[in-house]
Amino acid sequence: MPIEPTVQLVPALLDSTPRLVPALLDVSFRDGYVGSVVAVSLYVSLTAVALSTLVSVPAAVAIGLAEFPGKGFVKSVVNTGMGFPSVVVGLVVLFAVSNQGPLGSLNLVFTREAMILSQFVLATPPITAITLAAVSGVDDGVRDAARVLGGTRVDVALVVIKEVRYGIATAVLAGFGRAVSEVGSVLIVGGNIASADGISKTRTLTTAIQLEARQGQYETALVLGAVLVALVLTVNAVVVHFGDSGVTR
């Protein structure tokens, strides 16, 4: 039964392609609406990923270079974290920042800061796990060479980080992709708020898409989806560009 609508939808979608394209061109927004929504999306996700990177990369390098009992278990926990449903993370963060919660006195509920917090929780596991995998893949010889050449622990760590910079870039992009595309947690802790004149306060691209879809404005939702894809593409291009210039330097 649940499969049936999908089956009907596919030919319907193909049939309606000629009709859909002009409809997409007709979509219009209030002044400043899309810009403010994009700004909120970028601000929240980039901040969350930056904070997460500051925590995840050192943690991953430390775990990767150290040998201790239970290392495998720690890795499993981090890998499991990649599968956290964003709605559950949103609920947990909501309980924390809600007026009744431990952080209630900070008045964070329905703010961008709360959204950053939930996206931080979401982005940390993938960034840690991918960095960790990259660090584990570094040839033992590199580490040994650095050590033999008289490097301290910090020196060894820096050499390893340089060695795995592509892995770290991939990790950060994966974290950004996870953060900017999730809708569950920012909807719950952010509230999807825009002011009466259409300027976003806690509305991100994903929650704006959800809102339009709820109202049956599928064309508008698709246009916003295209904006989101373009945004992710741009961020990826920027990161890859910096990665390449790092090689030539």
Interacting residues toward another protein by CB under 8 A: 1, 5, 8-9, 98-100, 104, 107, 109-110, 191-193, 195-198, 201, 211, 213-217
CB of 104 to another protein, least distance (A): 8
CB of 231 to another protein, least distance (A): 24
What one-letter code names the amino acid at 23? A
* Smaller CB separation from another protein, 188 or 228: 188
CB of 65 to another protein, least distance (A): 43
Q: Is 194 helix (H, G, I), strand (E, B) or coil?
A: strand
Q: Which long-range contacts (CB under 8 A, 24 or more apart) does 136-144 make?
A: 136/64, 137/164, 137/167, 138/64, 138/163, 138/164, 143/65
* Smaller CB separation from another protein, 152 or 215: 215
Residue 76: which of 18, 152, 128 has the closest Cα? 128
Q: Is 138 helix (H, G, I), strand (E, B) or coil?
A: coil
* Smaller CB separation from another protein, 12 or 149: 12
* Smaller CB separation from another protein, 5 or 72: 5
CB of 4 to another protein, least distance (A): 9
CA distance 99 to 80: 30
